């Protein structure tokens, strides 16, 4: 059995990774428009890089199809 390793993006890296402020990201998560975090410990959470890349790709596809929504 082969396990897949996932890179975890920490909360402090999110603004650089997405170009959005944390408050914007939190609002998108609440609306179901951004990947949910993975709880790493009692006080830490992170996001799977693969899910963030898929989110970016969906935003690019929406733009290219003329369907990009205002955040």
Per residue in 5-30, pLDDT (tens digit) is 889 999 999 999 999 999 999 999 99
- Average pLDDT over the chain, rounded to whole? 90
| Structure confidence at residue 3 as a pLDDT band (50, 70, 90) | confident
Instruction: Indicate the pairing of strand 8-10 with strand 38-39.
Output: unpaired
Average pLDDT of 40-49? 94
pLDDT at 66: 80
The answer to whether the beta carbons of residues 20 and 71 sit under 8 Å apart is yes
Q: Torsion angle of alpha carbons 24, 70, 13, 4, nearest 10°?
A: 120
**pTM for the model:** 0.81
Nearest-angstrom CA–CA distance, 20 and 4: 28
pLDDT at 37 exceeding the cut of 90: yes
On the 0-12 / 13-18 / 19+ scale of CB atoms within 10 A, 67 is: exposed
Q: Which residue intervals of the chain are DSSP H helices?
A: 14-18, 22-30, 49-64
């Amino acid at each position: 059995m082969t396990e897949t390793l996932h890179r975890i993006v920490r909360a402090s890296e999110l603004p650089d990774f997405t170009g959005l402020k944390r408050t914007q990201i939190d609002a998108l998560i609440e609306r179901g428009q951004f990947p949910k975090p993975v709880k790493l410990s009692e006080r830490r959470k992170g996001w799977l890089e693969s899910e963030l890349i898929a989110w970016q790709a969906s935003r690019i596809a929406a733009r290219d199809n003329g369907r990009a929504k205002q955040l």
